[in-house]
Amino acid sequence: MLLDANDLLASIKKAAQEAAEAGQPADFCFGKVTSVKPLKILVEQKMTLGEAQLVLTRNVTDYKTKITGSNVQNYYYTGDIESGTAPVSPSHVHAVGKITVTIHNALTVGEEVVLMKQKGGQKYLVLDRVVKT
């Protein structure tokens, strides 16, 4: 098979593109949450990504985890979680043990996030919030 100049040029371009992609398998970008239900993120003021394109990490979701509490002096429960009533005496101190708590960490409208774009650009991993100092 004989290659002409156009075929050779196309092969060189393809090889150069593959070499560049191999050195940069993913791109980072920044976005801003514009909606939470459904989740939408505006990326670098150019395009809006929807839920089908986004993969969320634990850093940007509500989740449950277990914590362990033990006998603690001057640490007491002051009422019912649901109603905020039924105060308990400060002398009522006991071992808590392992309990499950919910971490409320879901994204809210207006938050800025850092994303990693999958090679090929079909999916974006939402890594975390951007912290401004």
119, pLDDT greater than 90: no
As a whole number, mean pLDDT of residues 35-51 equals: 93
Cα(22)–Cα(67) distance, rounded to whole angstroms?
A: 42
Q: pLDDT tier at 86 (50, 70, 90 boundaries)?
A: low
What are the domain boundaries of the chain? 65-103
The answer to whether the bond into 87 is cis (omega within 30° of 0) is no
Structural element, H or E, at residue 54: strand 54-56
Residue 49 has a pLDDT of: 93
Cα(63)–Cα(103) distance, rounded to whole angstroms?
A: 5
